[in-house]
Amino acid sequence: MRILILSKALVNGVYQRKLEELARLPDVELLAVVPPAWIESRVGVLQLERRFVEGYQLVVEPMWFNGHHHIHVYPGLAKHVARFRPDILHIDEEPYNLVTAHAALVGKRYGAQILFFTWQNLYRRYPPPFSWFERLNYRLASAAVAGNHEAAEVLRRKGYRGPLAVIPQFGVDPDIFRPLSVPRPEIPTIGFVGRLVPEKGADLVIRALARLPGRVQLEIVGEGVERTRLELLASELGVRDRVIFRGGVPPALMPEALNRFDLLVVPSRTRRNWKEQFGRVIIEAMSCGVPVVGSSSGEIPHVIGDPALVFPEDDVDALVRLLNDLLSDSERLRQLGEAGRRRVLTHYTQRRIAEQYYAVYQSMLAARRFGSPVTERS
């Protein structure tokens, strides 16, 4: 099978590992088309890395309107599709984006089946032309992949009736994110990793820390507009000396940072225009053998996979009870860490994610060959 993947996310070299795993599967000939860089508003310019590029072709195509999520486009895409003649054009973009509509039309012109991806787990109605792009992509696609369960529900509610699978966009590399022997704090340490913005809920962990008995500290990894307010909150609650603001950590050092924690808290809170779509740090921490506690926002409960480790959004009392129980039982923490890594190895490695996409591709080709429907997967 000839697969062409169009993805700006693949400028991140870590994500390219999924493509190496795909290329190792039987009868796969793989071409990835990526931009030379992607401009992310909260981060800056992300230059293309070439980190895992064995076994497939990675070609660079300039992008127009770089940094604009909904209107960017690859004007030269057609030449790659015409040369490669893919059986499947996998567009790693939302269906309401211009790039998806343009790529789908190009792919159809050359006889490719179309697959698109979505993270969107909130029901929204878009104005023209984005609603037009959305309807066009629903009509042209042979299959779709949702990155979380609620995104799949949104697609159905909005009228998409084609084959649909629920698979994360990328997995984690368990050889990079693994248990490490690193210097650890002398006292129990709770971790938070993420942007310091209200919806990520770091303030909830500070409030919980102030109510925990004994010597416990909190390490906050990340930056954002809320940092000053969070520092003031920690001072007001009398725990400023037990809250360590580490700032941003380079991706290469994230495994070491996670291994310093006794457990990680992911306290996201849903807002009118945002809900946790996956929580990648959850599988990174679990892969390191670090237990994860998370709120009930969005996909978090599905990723953690253990209801006993999930607390209601914004419920400080529930979080305090959960942290008290876990931090007082080192053996249970050890068992949870081992169980979390097993869960990642079963469901969330780059290899496992690649295998799930491969199964979707096989179903798409079988449907074309025999006229049968694609099997839905979750």
Residues 364 and 328 in one domain: no
In a domain, residue 376? The reply is no
Could you list the pLDDT tens digit for every one of the 378 residues in the chain?
999 999 999 999 999 999 999 999 999 999 999 999 999 987 889 999 999 999 999 999 999 999 999 999 999 999 999 999 999 999 999 999 999 999 999 999 999 999 999 999 999 999 999 999 999 999 999 999 999 999 999 999 999 999 999 999 999 999 999 999 998 888 999 999 999 999 999 999 999 999 998 789 999 999 999 999 999 999 999 999 999 999 999 988 999 999 999 999 999 999 999 999 999 999 999 999 999 999 999 999 999 999 999 999 999 999 999 999 999 999 999 999 999 999 999 999 999 999 999 999 999 999 887 665 444 555
Beta-carbon neighbour count of residue 311 at 10 Å? 24
What does the longest C-alpha to C-alpha distance in the chain come to? 68
**137 and 39 in one domain?**
yes
Q: Are residues 87 and 230 in the same domain?
A: no
Decide if 299 is inside a domain: yes
Residues 55 and 133 in one domain: yes
Evaluate whether residue 176 is within a structural domain.
Answer: no
Q: Running DSSP on this structure, what letter comes out for residue 330? A: H
The CATH number assigned to the domain holding 129 equals: 3.40.50.2000
Strands 217-221 and 243-247: what pairing? parallel
Query: Same domain for 164 and 251?
Result: no
Residues 342 and 355 both lie in one domain: no
Q: Exposed, middle or buried, 89 (CB in 10 Å: 0-12/13-18/19+)?
A: buried
232 close to 202: Cβ distance less than 8 angstroms: no
Query: What is the count of structural domains for the chain?
Result: 2
Assigned domain for 180 exists: no
Shared-domain flag, residues 331 and 365: no
Q: ∠ CA(368), CA(371), CA(373), 5° rounding?
A: 90
Domain limits for position 295: 189-347
Contact criterion met (CB below 8 Å) for 132 and 104: no
Six token digits for residue 193 = 């990793």
Q: What is the spatial distance between Cα 140 and Cα 136, in angstroms, rounded to a whole number?
A: 6
Residues near 356 by beta carbon (within 8 Å), at least 6 away in sequence: 165, 167, 377
Contacts 24+ apart (CB under 8 A), 44-49: 46/11, 46/12, 47/11, 48/11, 49/11, 49/12, 49/13, 49/16
- Are 249 and 304 contained in the same domain? yes
Task: Looking at the structure, tell me whether residues 47 and 122 fall in a common domain.
Answer: yes
